[in-house]
């Protein structure tokens, strides 16, 4: 093996040159690949969802069922009545959202409750995040699909019908552009080992929209709390 690396001076120069060219070309290929990723920038409008996954009884654990029954006994305790919505309520609602995408991050501007969400590409999550309603998101490319993972979520509800989640919830969203370039599918995986016996979720489909995002004055409405 060692003998293979014993070169004359000229041969070494050639090898260095070759290595340089190889490194440059691979850098160029990587850069080109990054540029050729689908661009999800724009305003998106929900077209529909695949009910097969979402439209069934959630796979509750005993703790999950107890949390649901607690909601059922007092639905007004849902912070949504005070215009506080957790991540999945926002991301799976049939309201508009705008995406701004560059090579380092994806910014999502939701009409629902004016929420702003930033997902940095290829960045690790904080180790022990303080849980909030929107949590922490990062992003990675899986081929041409954009995968956004959120953690650090405080207890809340997934749906208007009081489907609870724990603070161990991990949400994985996979966006895939369809061939027309104006439609995408968004798979939302709900992984919460405390409240659900297995991962589950919903797939929604979105199209590019000509509508502009409007104001959303939930907090300022005359009948807040009703």
Partner 1 sequence: MNKKIVALVLFMLAVPAYAHHSFLSIYDQDSIEVIEGVVTEVWFENPHSRVYVESTDSSGNKVVWEAETYPRNILVRRGWNHNDLKEGDEVVLKGRKAKNGTTRVQMLTLTRSSDGWEGIGFEENSID
- Residue 194, SS3? coil
Burial call 73-89: b when 16+ CB within 10 Å, e when fewer: eeeeebebeeeebbbbb
Task: Count CA within 13 A, CB hemisphere, residue 118.
Answer: 6
181 belongs to the binding site for partner 1 (CB under 8 A)? no
Q: How far apart are CA 199 and CA 182, in angstroms?
A: 29
Min dist CB 21 to partner 1, Å, is 34
180 belongs to the binding site for partner 1 (CB under 8 A)? no
Min dist CB 117 to partner 1, Å, is 18
205 belongs to the binding site for partner 1 (CB under 8 A)? yes
Q: Single out the residue of 41, 43, 50, 154 in contact with partner 1 (rule: CB under 8 A).
A: 50
First-to-last C-alpha distance (Å) of the chain: 78
Min dist CB 178 to partner 1, Å, is 6
Q: Single out the residue of 39, 70, 102, 217 in contact with partner 1 (rule: CB under 8 A).
A: 217
Site for partner 1 in 139-168 (CB under 8 A): 159-163
Q: How far apart are CA 26 and CA 104, in angstroms?
A: 20
Nearer to partner 1, 103 or 222 (CB): 222
Q: How far apart are CA 88 and CA 64, in angstroms?
A: 16
Min dist CB 206 to partner 1, Å, is 11
Site for partner 1 in 83-122 (CB under 8 A): 83, 93-96, 111-112
- Residue 25, SS3? helix
Min dist CB 205 to partner 1, Å, is 5
- Residue 221, SS3? coil
221 belongs to the binding site for partner 1 (CB under 8 A)? yes
80 belongs to the binding site for partner 1 (CB under 8 A)? yes
Structure-token pair, residue 145 = 């699909």
**Residue length of the chain:** 226
Structure-token pair, residue 69 = 């029954």
Question: Cα 217 to the chain's mean position, in Å?
Answer: 25
Residues that bind partner 1 (CB under 8 A): 46-52, 54-57, 80, 83, 93-96, 111-112, 159-163, 176, 178-179, 185, 203, 205, 211, 214, 216-218, 221-223
């Amino acid at each position: 093996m060692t003998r293979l690396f014993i070169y004359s001076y000229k041969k070494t120069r050639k090898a260095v040159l070759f290595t340089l060219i190889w490194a440059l070309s691979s850098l160029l290929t990587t850069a080109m690949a990054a540029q050729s990723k689908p661009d999800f920038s724009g305003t998106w409008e929900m077209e529909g969802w695949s009910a097969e996954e979402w439209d069934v009884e959630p796979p509750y654990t005993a703790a999950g069922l107890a949390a649901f029954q607690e909601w059922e006994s007092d639905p007004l305790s849902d912070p949504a009545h005070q215009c506080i919505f957790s991540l999945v309520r926002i991301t799976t609602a049939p309201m508009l959202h705008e995406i701004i995408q560059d090579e380092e991050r994806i910014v999502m501007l939701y009409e629902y409750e004016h929420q702003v969400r930033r997902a940095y590409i290829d960045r690790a999550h904080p180790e022990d995040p303080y849980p909030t309603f929107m949590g922490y998101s990062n992003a990675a490319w899986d081929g041409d699909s954009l995968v956004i993972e959120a953690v650090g979520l405080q207890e809340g509800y997934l749906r208007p019908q009081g489907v609870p989640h724990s603070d161990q919830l991990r949400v994985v969203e996979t966006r895939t552009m369809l061939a027309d370039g104006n439609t995408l599918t968004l798979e939302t995986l709900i992984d919460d080992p405390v409240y659900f016996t297995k991962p589950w979720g919903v797939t929604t489909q979105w199209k590019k929209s000509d509508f502009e995002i409007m104001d959303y004055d939930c907090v300022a409405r005359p009948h807040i709390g009703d």
